[in-house]
Amino acid sequence: MPVAPAPARRWALLVMVGLLGGLLSGLFGVGGGAVMVPLLIWLLGVGQRRAAATSLVAIVPTAIVGALTYGIGGHVAIVAGAVLGVGAIGGSLLGSRLLRRLPIGVLRWMFIGLLGVGAVQTLIDIPSRDSDISLTPVSVLMLLLVGVLMGVASGLLGVGGGVIVVPILIAGFGASDLLAKGTSLVAMIPAAMTGSGANMHGHLVKVGDGLVVGAAASAASWLGVAFAYRISPFISGLLFFGLMIVTMLQLAYRAVKLRGTED
């Protein structure tokens, strides 16, 4: 377990974690927690549960900035995002409750499995930039269920859930990569807010740390969106695949090597 750094260095590390998380948030339409959680653990000596809770606080402003930036470019499906968000609220409350009760190893292996499916799907489906999300009674119900899954991942692991939702929106709902990212960020906002409220009630998070990380992440988010506009869907898919593989590997490492040693 890393030794906690001195105060001045600690604040600098929090800002660095936020900048990296925000860049990835804007680029991939994720909350950035896939990077922020392991960095909080490795660099600042934060336990898994508190790292997840801190990341979730940071995701709130980051997702707002990213969603607004995608929205300005017309790459947000408001209705689909709202439906996802409704499901995510309930899922986030459930995930936050499980965070306080389930063994850490179980949480990791659940998420690793979901990431593996999403990673494969990312390479199979290369979206068109002109694709949209078609809304029917069946697709609305499916979006609601996906939102629940997003919220559970958010509350459990301190991620926004975008690493799960973006591939599903592309492969299952025919969205373009930009539309999937922007819509994912919209849905992430209520999920992260709800989960953060539950975590604060459970005394799992230092709000100040989360706000510092979130402020830095928000500042970097727009740059990630700018990069997303300039790369092709194929390159975007490859980069997203790489992000998911790295996340899977670090989760698997901690699940195997550090089993039973963390709070």
Measured between alpha carbons, how far is 125 from 54 in angstroms, rounded to an integer?
Answer: 33
What pLDDT sits at residue 104?
63
pLDDT band at 213 (very low <50, low <70, confident <90, very high): very high
Share of the chain residues as helix, strand and coil, in percent rounded to the nearest 5:
80, 0, 20
Side-chain-side CA neighbours of 202 within 13 Å: the count stands at 20
Closest listed residue to residue 147, CA positions, set 90, 222, 204: 90
pLDDT band at 204 (very low <50, low <70, confident <90, very high): confident
**Which comes out higher in pLDDT, residue 106 or 181?**
181
pLDDT band at 261 (very low <50, low <70, confident <90, very high): low
Task: Give domain status of residue 167, yes or no.
Answer: yes
**Which comes out higher in pLDDT, residue 167 or 219?**
219
What pLDDT sits at residue 25?
87
Task: Give domain status of residue 91, yes or no.
Answer: yes
Task: Give domain status of residue 2, yes or no.
Answer: no
CA angle 133, 26, 216 (to 5 degrees): 145
Overall number of domains in the chain: 1
Task: Give domain status of residue 162, yes or no.
Answer: yes
231 near 239, Cβ under 8 Å? Answer: yes
What is the span of the domain harbouring residue 49? 7-257
> pLDDT tens digits, residue range 39-70?
888 888 888 778 888 888 998 999 999 999 99
> pLDDT tens digits, residue range 62-86?
999 999 999 999 999 999 999 999 9
Q: Give the mean pLDDT of the chain.
A: 82
Q: What is the CA radius of gyration of the chain?
A: 17
218 near 64, Cβ under 8 Å? Answer: yes
Measured between alpha carbons, how far is 219 from 66 in angstroms, rounded to an integer?
Answer: 10
* Helix/strand/coil for 158: coil
Task: Give domain status of residue 128, yes or no.
Answer: yes
> pLDDT tens digits, residue range 162-174?
778 888 898 888 8
What pLDDT sits at residue 127?
65
| Alpha-carbon distances of 106 from 8, 148, 252, rounded to whole Å | 35, 19, 11
Task: Give domain status of residue 239, yes or no.
Answer: yes
Residue 180 has pLDDT above 80, yes or no: yes
Task: Give domain status of residue 263, yes or no.
Answer: no
36: tokens are: 């922020």
Residue 190 has pLDDT above 80, yes or no: yes
Measured between alpha carbons, how far is 205 from 184 in angstroms, rounded to an integer?
Answer: 24
> pLDDT tens digits, residue range 100-147?
676 766 766 777 777 787 777 777 766 667 777 888 999 999 999 999
Measured between alpha carbons, how far is 197 from 202 in angstroms, rounded to an integer?
Answer: 9
